[in-house]
């Protein structure tokens, strides 16, 4: 998030109009916009696109809420570019890969699951979006829970397969608790669906590079009776 803040400060200093693609009211979006409130316009719904006003068509750039998926951000950017053909792209990729990968995964899981359970906070826009994507992908039902204890047994009536995923920052142990809950109730045959293996390299301090291994893999799980 700090990188996006720096970009806002830099482009504001260069007198750019900055169109921040994201959900109005989201903590990250409000914080980013607050770095240069006179230069940033938040773009969320179509109505906000229509209300955008710029000073110089040669100095207009879009930035993004980091937890938006690539698909979601680019859909809005496409609409913006129709109105502002000279709209410039950000100098680097600010979109969260974990968010994008989970949305790709949930599409596959939702297409083959009767029920999808997404673990994550109601305050997390990417978690809420995963529930929506699962339903659009074909899941008969999809619910969000913070903990396994929030699962309602009535959800499983007539259900043969259950998909499980989580928000980008959810601790793995919370997902494991949900899988354990499902196993106890007869959904113990777990199949992991891999959709992406990330080769993205980040420049870390020398000390950390010695301790950390560069590896990332986004997965969602499907449990069957």
Q: Which residues are marked as active site?
A: 28
Beta-carbon contacts of 8 under 8 Å, excluding residues fewer than 6 positions away, are: 18, 20, 32, 33, 35, 36, 39, 40, 63
CA distance 28 to 42: 12
Q: Beta strands of the chain (E only): which ranges?
A: 17-21, 40-43, 60-64, 115-119, 141-145, 161-166, 189-197, 217-224
Burial class (CB in 10 A: 0-12, 13-18, 19+), 18: buried
Tokens at residue 82, please? 């129709």
**To which residue do tokens 């969602």 refer?**
220
What CA–CA distance (Å, rounded) separates 144 from 6? 34
- Would you state the structure tokens that stand for residue 224, as one six-digit string? 């069957």
* Distance in angstroms (rounded) separating the CA atoms of residues 90 and 139: 35
């Amino acid at each position: 998030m700090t990188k996006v803040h720096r970009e806002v400060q830099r482009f504001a200093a260069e007198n750019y109009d900055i169109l921040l693609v994201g959900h109005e009211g989201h903590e990250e979006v409000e914080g980013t916009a607050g770095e240069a409130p006179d230069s940033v316009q938040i773009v969320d719904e179509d109505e906000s696109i229509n209300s955008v006003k710029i000073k110089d068509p040669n100095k207009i750039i879009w930035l993004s809420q980091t937890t938006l998926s690539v698909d979601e951000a680019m859909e809005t950017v496409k609409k913006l570019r129709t109105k502002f053909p000279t709209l410039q792209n950000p100098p680097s990729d600010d979109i969260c890969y974990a968010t994008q990968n989970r949305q790709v995964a949930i599409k596959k899981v939702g297409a083959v699951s009767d029920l999808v359970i997404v673990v994550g906070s109601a305050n997390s826009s990417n978690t809420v979006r995963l529930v929506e994507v699962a339903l659009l992908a074909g899941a008969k039902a999809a619910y969000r829970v913070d903990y396994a204890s929030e699962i309602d047994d009535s959800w499983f009536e007539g259900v043969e397969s259950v998909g499980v995923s989580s928000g980008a920052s959810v601790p793995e142990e919370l997902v494991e608790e949900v899988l354990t809950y499902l196993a106890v109730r007869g959904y113990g045959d777990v199949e992991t669906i891999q959709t992406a293996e990330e080769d993205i390299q980040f420049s870390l301090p020398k000390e950390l590079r010695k301790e950390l291994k560069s590896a990332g893999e986004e997965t969602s799980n499907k449990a069957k009776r």
